[in-house]
Structure 1
Amino acid sequence: MRKPKLPLKRSKDSTYLSRDLKDNVEYYCMMLIPLALIFVFSYLPMSGIVIAFQNYSVGKPFFGKGVEWVGLEHFKTFVSSYYFPRILRNTLLMNIMCLVFGFWIPIVFAITLNEIRNSKFRKFTQTVSYMPNFISTVVVVGMFLSFIADDGIITQLLRLLGMEAKSLNTSQAAFPWYYTLLNIWKSFGWNSILFLASISSIDPTLYESADLDGATRMQKIRYITFPSMLPTIIIQLIFAMGGMLGSNSDMILLLYNSAVLETADVIGTYVYRETLMGGMYSYGTAAGLLMGLFSFTLVYIANRTARKHMDYSIW
């Protein structure tokens, strides 16, 4: 008995692909612009990573004659820098504070919103919580700095309460705390959207069955709502672990000053000063690439741990 030739299978596959392309041509056309934007702004600039291994200056080519290759010299300089322990400590400290004090707030907020029975009040609360995310960081920081100045509202209120209050702008110990609080306030409402979406996908019959069994509201949250949210929580936690070496550098640049550099300077602000203000483009690229590799390592470890113990993971 003769076996069918391989080209027949390829012909069937090509027929299926052509039919699929014809049936979904509108969707593929819609994907062209986003894919082009991702390619132009995300993948093409990656060729600039090579300057981390060069002594690059503006006007020089990335490849060809005149390129001075230095290998891992900039990486060694960054790790052995006098400022490296300080910026690494500050970056980890502020991200750990945001993780410990801020990660659970969107989860609790989403569960609380889901339990509100008055739809108008729920929508109003949801809208108000989203608003800080759409306010410019420059505006938010400008208002906050005026509140904690010597004659600011917060400082004067503390004095009225009998406390010896002075401007928090120059307090090194206070900077990580008010950065964390400001960052949480600005983002918790927006971050709760994913958790609200996971709650809305829960089968209503589960709650109906729980009501028939006489379950209380807290029991339904514990045994139905929270377990249904767990995959989303784990995935968000993995991403948060990957961002441990990153910070909201824009906010920190607007908040900090020379008096609080000891506790406010992070990797992002240091790279900004050395790269854009100091013109050390190769050095800044090497620092960013090294932190990117460390972040990927953290994501990989967190993902593998979650897959092993919780059976939820990104890949």
Structure 2
Amino acid sequence: MSDIGAPTAYRELRTRAGPGERARRFVKYRALLLMLVPGFVFLIIFNYIPMYGAILAFKEFKIMGGIANSPWVGMKYFDKAFNDPHFYVVLKNTLIISFYKLLFGFPVPILFAILLNELPGRRFKRWVQTISYLPHFISWIVLSGIFITIFSLEGPINLLLKAMDHLPIIFMADEHYFRSILVGTSIYQSFGWGSIIYLAAIAGIDPQLHEAAIIDGAGRFKRMRYITLPMLVPVISIMLILSMGSILDAGFDQIFNMYNAQVMDVADIIDTYVYRIGLINANYSYSTAVGLFKSVVALILVLGVNRIVKTIGGNEHTLW
């Protein structure tokens, strides 16, 4: 394998050349290209081949006939979804929960990465990083059990309220608190892991910028504000664009394990709705139509936000 790094190889492979030169480059970087094969196979098997099932949204699925032999029904199930009042309830819940998670959760990894970078002592910094990453590797089944216990009538929060002569609150069955609990626990689970990419971007900032600012008398907060944060803008822009692609993904694992019948009106989202009508009620065509609608909206949001960021900040802040 060549001593030239992967970024150099990528640029060289993309450089225009004749067929002979292009073949020579592929042979030269064959080891790097072979490393891409598992990723491509994974994408084809689990991302592209399942796309065939999307045609169920336009068919009346018959189990005995299979997808290919099921009759076409056109936009029947899309019309059914748009005329179903409960569909708009789950759509509203999905948008509200996702917007809250984006509004309150998106800045947290950025602020955490900036503050963590300013911590003195490499050992203490690594300890804080490790602690913040741990919740990401815990299943929502386990985390949900922990949070349900914490917010239960006999949990520590209600015990504290009782000690303050306050009536206990059934947090997990109260519509006024449930969404806030969802957002807060989601941030707790993801902010440490989400800060990794920002820490990597901070590590790439030229230290001479900070040295010059220190000579000019700038303190930590001024350097964070005028050097670190502006240098993170391209990464923040790209992460915001990617986040918009999951704006209709309010977190199935979390909500499915935490919601109950008492909070269904504020917690039922598109994913849980699709799960019930598709896997439980076996209405595969209708659930596929709702899922396809979600994917199309997500694609439109990604393209729209990418266009807005490109208009405001230029091509260097966008995906394409």
Change (3 A) 1:216 1:242: same
Provide the rounded CA distance (Å) in 2 between the counterparts of 1:138 and 1:232: 32
SS in 2 for 1:121: helix
- Whether 2:130 is the aligned partner of 1:127: answer yes
Aligned 1:86-101 pairs, distance under 5 A: 86-101=89-104
Q: How far off is 1:162 after superposition?
A: 2.0
Residue 49 of structure 2 corresponds to 44
Q: Deviations over 1:59-81 (max 9, x none)?
A: 42322xx4211101101111211
**Where has structure 1 moved over 6 Å in runs of 4 or more?**
none
Provide the rounded CA distance (Å) in 2 between the counterparts of 1:306 and 1:18: 37
> Structure 2 counterpart of 1:115, which letter?
E
Residue 35 of structure 2 corresponds to 30
Paired residue total: 302
> Structure 1 counterpart of 2:21, which letter?
Y
Q: Bigger radius of gyration, 1 or 2?
A: 1
Q: How far off is 1:172 after superposition?
A: 1.3
So what's the TM-score if we normalise by structure 2?
0.91
Moved more, 68-77 or 211-220: 211-220
Q: Deviations over 1:30-87 (max 9, x none)?
A: 2212111111111111111111100113342322xx4211101101111211212211
CA RMSD of aligned residues (A): 1.2
Residue 118 of structure 1 corresponds to 121
Provide the rounded CA distance (Å) in 2 between the counterparts of 1:55 and 1:299: 31
Provide the rounded CA distance (Å) in 1 between the counterparts of 2:42 and 2:34: 14
Residue 6 of structure 1 corresponds to none
The structure 2 residue matched to 1:80, chosen from 79, 83, 93, is 83
Residue 284 of structure 1 corresponds to 287
Q: Deviations over 1:188-239 (max 9, x none)?
A: 0000001111100101111111112111211111111001100111111122
SS in 2 for 1:205: helix
Contact 2:93 2:269 (C-alpha < 8 Å) held by counterparts: yes
Q: Deviations over 1:243-264 (max 9, x none)?
A: 2211111110100111110111
Structure 1 unaligned blocks of 5 or more: 1-11
The structure 2 residue matched to 1:69, chosen from 69, 72, 80, is 72
Provide the rounded CA distance (Å) in 2 between the counterparts of 1:214 and 1:47: 61
The structure 2 residue matched to 1:310, chosen from 310, 313, 316, is 313
Identity among equivalent pairs (%):
35
The structure 2 residue matched to 1:246, chosen from 231, 249, 252, is 249
Provide the rounded CA distance (Å) in 1 between the counterparts of 2:282 and 2:303: 33
Provide the rounded CA distance (Å) in 2 between the counterparts of 1:109 and 1:73: 48
> Structure 2 counterpart of 1:31, which letter?
L
> Structure 2 counterpart of 1:101, which letter?
F
The structure 2 residue matched to 1:231, chosen from 230, 234, 246, is 234
